[in-house]
Structure formats: C-alpha cells, structure tokens
Amino acid sequence: MIRKAFIMKVYPNKHEEYEKRHNEIWPEMLEELRKHGGRNYSIFLDKDTNQLLGYVEIEDEEKWNQMPKTEINQKWWDYMKDIMETNPDNSPITKDLKEVFHMD
C-alpha cells in the first residue's frame, strides 16, 4: 500500500459548495476510484488558507495514474472547475507532499 498526500485550493467563497459536492459524490466516481486502487481517501479543508489536503492510499502508482484518463474523472473535473483552482485541462492544481513520518 502506498500513501499519497497532496494540496489543492478551493475558492474562498466556495467552501460549502465544495463540501456539498463531495457529500453527494457520484457513485460511479467512487467506483472508478476504487477500481484504480484508491482506498481510505480523505480531503481536509483549512478555512484560513483555502487549502485542501488530500490523502489517499493506493495499490499501485501505474494503476492510479490511469484514473485521470477515465471519462468519469474528466466529467468530475469539469464539474469542479468553477469552485477550485484548476489547470487548463480542468484538473485541480495540486502539489504532492513528501511523507516524512508515519505511525501505524
């Protein structure tokens, strides 16, 4: 199992909408995340900085890296682009974090 953490940014006035959309996440999106080896996925919000900390456990980097190419993922990015910072392809602007400590 591989632990991944990353930072994204939601617009200041879109915190509630971001949470609402994730509370109503499409079942087919969850299914695809699982199919690509994602487990124990969490996103946390720092309201002061608008930063989102994502954490996910994956089985395999190569398998996980195929997720952005899926139709449902592309649709999700399009759905989310109006409430968070994104790249020209609608993917969230992310910064991967390096794990420096872990305790089981």
**What CATH number does domain 2-97 carry, 3.30.70.100, 3.40.50.300, 3.30.750.24, 3.40.30.10?**
3.30.70.100
pLDDT of amino acid 25: 97
- Which residues are known to be catalytic? 22
Cα–Cα distance for residue pair 53/8, rounded to 1 Å: 7
Q: Tokens for 88?
A: 């020209």
pLDDT of amino acid 22: 98
pLDDT of amino acid 100: 97
What residue ranges of the chain have pLDDT lower than 70? none
